[in-house]
Structure 1
Amino acid sequence: MIDWSTCPAVERDPARVSGAWLFCGTRVPVAALFENLEDDASVHQFVEWFPGVTMEQARTVLEQSARSALAVA
């Protein structure tokens, strides 16, 4: 499991979107990025489709995910 608490691009508030990890300043769940990538969307498309999420935030989330995967391996 990824520890999002150290990722500066995301935030969690139990009162918003059922406490899911969200891109900072948005109501877009981090999970939406991975779901769209699994459906063959590009990161550029995701950022276009979800205004408020920046390319920098998306890259930071992907980097955090990669670091977590390497730590487990």
Structure 2
Amino acid sequence: MNNQLIQSSPEILSGTPVFFGTRVPIKTLIDYLEAGDSLNEFLDDFPTVTHEQAVAFLNLALTSLLQNYESAA
């Protein structure tokens, strides 16, 4: 699933990780959320990213964070 969620290629934004099939960096979603913007605002501004992609990325990030936390405990 991850290969359908995040893409990194030297031909797309010099290898910056982007949402699969788009030119939207993953970090842009994090930047929006950090600034207090909603997921819907992000999706409105970047219509090439689907709601499903954004939610799947956030779930992946949460799972990774929890796994790292549990392994450190």
> TM-score, normalised on structure 2?
0.87
Amino acid at match of 1:33: L
Which residue does the alignment assign to 1:47? 43
Q: Which position in structure 2 is the counterpart of 1:17? A: 13
Q: Percent identity?
A: 35
Q: Which amino acid in structure 1 is aligned with residue 28 of structure 2?
A: A
CA root-mean-square deviation: 1.1
The alignment covers a number of residue pairs equal to 68
Deviation of the 1:25 alpha carbon? 1.1
Gaps of 5+ in 2: none
Detail structure 1 runs of 4+ shifted over 6 Å in the superposition: none
What TM-score do you get using the length of structure 1 for normalisation? 0.87
Runs of 5+ unmatched residues, structure 1: 1-5
